[in-house]
Structure 1
Amino acid sequence: MTFTAVVLYPNEPDTTFDTDYYLQTHMPLVAKHWGPAGLKSWSVTKYERDLAGTSPKYLIAATLVWESEESATAAIAGESASSVFGDIPNFTNKQPVTLAGSTIGSQEIS
């Protein structure tokens, strides 16, 4: 069973977010520091609207898939966390909302 963390960045009128920096610098930094600690993959979604067609509550979501809850917890508490979290002001003026949990089901639809 994998463990997933989702990092959501708010979409507020005064939000600034450098998507290029995030994808080209920050996420490779995350992979460099947390890959050896058990991070299996990451993906980033940019929200343009909610399903009703209105402005979304969140602008960007990063989904981090870990080997286990223990590996995620250790990485986030480890020495490299300061490098990862300390980089946030380089691409946004907002602090993210984070969610975490175990995958309890999935299905690929063809």
Structure 2
Amino acid sequence: MKCKLIVSFFLLTAGFTAFSQEKESRKSTGKNTAVVEKALVKVSIMYPYAEGKTFNMEYYETRHMPMVAGYLGSNLVKYTIEKGLASGIPNQPLPFMAIGTFYVKSLSDYQASIGPNRDAIRADFPNYTNISPVILVSEVVK
């Protein structure tokens, strides 16, 4: 019984030490995702739902978003694509058909890369939608 108690204590202590070392390692290497994402700029391109509006998700996913991501280069951390399913309130219309999001390191670098390519990006809209998007640029806080 005494042996089992000593082994249990040893395992508990070793586990706690490993957990503490992993936590410290994430702090020092910056690999804590929440900390890394906190400093990012988020660009949300939202396509509002309305009767008669169309959206080609396949084209958006395979052609448009990769094209824009290419313009962003190394400033781009990641991008996401969301397809609207329902409103948060039952029996209410869908607020957005789709939302594309770019996470970038620098707002000024984002603007510098998008500016010269703005016309090409807008010229591609008719290939996948007849919706004018709403764009929100925000800072990731948490």
**Fold match (TM-score > 0.5):** yes
Q: Does residue 101 of the first structure (1) align with residue 138 of the second (2)?
A: yes
Inter-partner Cα distance in structure 2 for 1:80 and 1:27: 13
Which of the pair has the greater relative contact order for Cα pairs under 8 Å at 6+ separation?
1
- As a proportion of its length, which structure holds more strand? 1
Per-residue deviation, residues 30-62 of structure 1 (Å, max 9, x unmatched): 1222224x1221101111101223322111001
Specify which of 69, 78, 81 is matched with residue 31 of structure 1.
69
What amino acid does structure 2 have at the position aligned with 1:95? S
Query: Residues 48 and 55 of structure 1 are in contact (CA less than 8 Å); yes or no, is this contact kept in structure 2?
Result: no
- Which runs of 5 or more residues in structure 1 are unaligned? 106-110
Q: Percent identical across equivalent pairs?
A: 25
Kindly state the Cα deviation for residue 74 of structure 1 after the two structures are TM-superposed. Answer: 1.4
What amino acid does structure 2 have at the position aligned with 1:51? G
Aligned length in residues: 103
Greater Rg, structure 1 or structure 2?
2
Q: Does residue 58 of the first structure (1) align with residue 58 of the second (2)?
A: no
User: Which stretches of structure 1, 4 residues or longer, exceed 3 Å deviation after superposition?
Assistant: none
What amino acid does structure 2 have at the position aligned with 1:48? L
Aligned ranges for residues 1-110 of structure 1 at < 5 Å?
1-36=39-74, 38-53=75-90, 54-77=92-115, 79-105=116-142
Inter-partner Cα distance in structure 1 for 2:106 and 2:42: 8
TM-score by length of 2: 0.67
- Which runs of 5 or more residues in structure 2 are unaligned? 1-38
- As a proportion of its length, which structure holds more helix? 2
* Worse overlay, 83-92 or 5-14: 83-92
TM-score by length of 1: 0.85
Query: Residues 9 and 97 of structure 1 are in contact (CA less than 8 Å); yes or no, is this contact kept in structure 2?
Result: yes
Kindly state the Cα deviation for residue 68 of structure 1 after the two structures are TM-superposed. Answer: 1.3
